[in-house]
Structure 1
Amino acid sequence: MPYGTQHPHRPSHASRPPLGAWDVHRLPSAEDRSFLVTGGNAGIGYFVAEQLAGTGATVVLGSRDRTRAEAAAASIRARVPDACVRHVPLDLADLASLPATVDALALDRLDAVVHNAGVALDDPPRRETADGHELMFGTNHLGHFALTRWLAPLLTAAPAARVVTVGSIAAKSERLDLNDLQSRGDDYRPKRAYGRSTLAQMSFGFALDRRLRALGSTVRSLVAHPGGALDSLTPSRPPVHVRTSGERLRGLPAGLLVQGKDAGAWPVVRAVLDPRATGGQLWGPRVFGLRGLPRAEPVGERMADAALAARLWEAGCALTGVEADLGFR
């Protein structure tokens, strides 16, 4: 059913869930607020953007590919009547381009940024960004690290902005090697490098909140992950995503353990919108962290390691050339 004024994503005051409840299909109004979703043209990011658009907010899709972003925006408008959604060019692998991206937002304030975009390589060889960083670490972590610096004035201008970093369950099985953040060793394994890049990004999200609190900032940083989210369990959104009947049937057994990317977006959306969500929290699916309704879950020791995060922060500053406070003062 298309989203409309009577759809649960665009509730009237009377239809909102009671205080203390959270209904993924009846989100609170976010009119007059602006959200940036990096990588909002596909995957988890697309469904985050679609669901946020249903709240009445202005949603900006950050994407390298204008054609794909425009197709995603058209798909959202088809499902959310009167959706306010647009695109800005964003290439997290090109650090020098990020100030121009923030200028293109043309906003006086930003109520939330969802750090969602990412690169995942399945096979060697090792690849690098335009700045000479390993592609996944450079895009997934360093790109968002630097983007946060340029967004800082807009986030600070909002009354209670949020930075929501999207991680992955792949991070839980990895350890950061601070002596080889760029995966330059002879034993280059893309899946390991991806997991480490997402662990670095999640560690950054928790470290950012600690630093924001120390500065007395009104901005809060939260982390979320989608659990297990498969294309075969994801509803079609042509031309952004098309699921055939055969793919749907083949994916049904996996639905006992994991879910589609529409449901994978729920923890992220809750981290953005729930007034009871607070900085330093990790949001994920309720059932074994793989599927189900969103909930706050315990933060793993590796992600919460403040000493490791401080060294990673120093490395991020050195590799991106941004100041240690990221512009939050």
Structure 2
Amino acid sequence: MPTAVQTPPWDVHRLPPAQGKNFLVTGGNAGIGYFVAEQLAGTGATVVLGSRDPAKAEAAMASIRARVPGARVRHLRLDLADLSSLKPSVDSLELDHLDAVVHNAGVLLDQPERRETKDGHELTFGTNHLGHFALTHWLAPLLSAAPAGRVVTTGSFAAKSARLDLDDLQTTRDYRPKRAYERSKLAQMLFGCELDRRLRAGGSTTLSVLAHPGGALDSLTPARPPLHARSTGQRLRGLPLALFVQGKQAGAWPAVRAVLDPTVTGGQLWGPRVAGLRGAPRLEPVWDHLADPATAARLWTASATLTGVDPAFHPA
């Protein structure tokens, strides 16, 4: 009788090799996305940083190469707030397959004025949710061409208490930046759950997985000059908070595990171990309001109408 293969315990500092694989990280030039890209680059995979700003992407790639000898990183010019630009961007990837995309990029505005994308959508919702929704459509053939592609959607702990207004997805009434952000992250996570249902129903080998970083602060994040620097004072002031939250390098761990762990299955939610706010990545129960298929299906239909595309994957 063959011996069962034991999967070693997950170690955030000893990731499994991924030579020959291709990963795309949206917003990979800064914040949590940067650390997702840096950690994935250490596996030997080719990591594509999706970013609007070539200069910032070049700085991020230089930082990764300085820490990961032989890192295979490249830049994809990607503007999630411009839907018409997404297909040409995907075409310029020039890959025959994509093993995973990490939907990480996002905006959190602090101005009280409501702003819109080039397509006339509220900027936070249009970038964080609609842009990734449409990007998934254009990436579907590349993800389907991989043996087991993955769509990893980075949500937020802030979405746990948020609720969508399906009659006002564009927040035309009573706009508040923080609430718009929370709702956009909830929309992303509902999309990830609905995508999982559709992938399974269609017999696809592609997985849709959710991840969230918990509480991730700049003051607890290791320096990556010139991308991110912190003074001694900032570091010392942040130390007491380390009992409750973490830095952005640790905030990247759930998404990295969702990309690489061979035991991951579709529809799962990965987050930090300690109260969902800090620590090594662990499997979490899917939050109750994410498991509502009626809301997710209505959001999907509205998103397809607003973007003009409807993500679909070919069966295995």
Interval of TM-score (by shorter of Structure 1 and Structure 2) = over 0.9
Confirm whether residue 253 of structure 1 aligns to residue 240 of structure 2. Answer: yes
- CA deviations 1:74-109 (Å, max 9, x no partner) are 000000000000101000000000011101111000
Q: Quick one: which amino acid aligns to residue 307 of structure 2?
A: T
- In the alignment, what sits opposite 2:303? 316
- CA deviations 1:136-181 (Å, max 9, x no partner) are 0000000000000000000000000000000001101110000000
Secondary structure of 1:195's aligned partner: helix
1:17-28 paired onto structure 2 within 5 Å: 19-28=7-16
In 2, are the aligned partners of 1:112 and 1:163 still within 8 Å (CA)? yes
1:214-293 paired onto structure 2 within 5 Å: 214-293=201-280
Q: Quick one: which amino acid aligns to residue 288 of structure 1?
A: A
- CA deviations 1:277-304 (Å, max 9, x no partner) are 1110000000000000000101111111
Structure 2 Cα separation of the partners of residues 173 and 128 of structure 1: 25
- In the alignment, what sits opposite 2:176? 189
Secondary structure of 2:48's aligned partner: strand
Deviation at 1:19, TM superposition (A): 2.1
- In the alignment, what sits opposite 1:125? 113
Match of 1:46 among 24, 28, 34: 34
- In the alignment, what sits opposite 2:284? 297
Structure 2 Cα separation of the partners of residues 47 and 213 of structure 1: 30
Count of residues in correspondence between the two structures: 310
Task: Flag structure 2 segments of 5+ consecutive residues without an equivalent.
Answer: 1-5
Q: TM-score, normalised by structure 2?
A: 0.97
Q: TM-score, normalised by structure 1?
A: 0.93
Q: Quick one: which amino acid aligns to residue 181 of structure 1?
A: L
- In the alignment, what sits opposite 2:199? 212
Q: Quick one: which amino acid aligns to residue 274 of structure 1?
A: D
Deviation at 1:188, TM superposition (A): 1.1
Deviation at 1:198, TM superposition (A): 0.2
Deviation at 1:328, TM superposition (A): 4.1
Match of 1:69 among 47, 54, 57: 57
- Tell me how large the CA RMSD over aligned residues is: 0.9
- In the alignment, what sits opposite 2:139? 151
- CA deviations 1:206-264 (Å, max 9, x no partner) are 11011000000000000000000000000001111111111100101111100000000
Q: In 2 relative to 1, CA 114–91 (structure 1 residues): closer, same or farther, beyond 3 Å?
A: same
Deviation at 1:123, TM superposition (A): 2.9
In percent, how many aligned pairs have the same letter? 74
- In the alignment, what sits opposite 2:3? none
Q: Quick one: which amino acid aligns to residue 36 of structure 2?
A: V
Q: In 2 relative to 1, CA 135–328 (structure 1 residues): closer, same or farther, beyond 3 Å?
A: farther
Structure 1 Cα separation of the partners of residues 232 and 116 of structure 2: 38
Match of 1:105 among 83, 89, 93: 93
Secondary structure of 1:144's aligned partner: helix
Q: Quick one: which amino acid aligns to residue 213 of structure 2?
A: P
Confirm whether residue 326 of structure 1 aligns to residue 278 of structure 2. Answer: no
Secondary structure of 2:209's aligned partner: strand
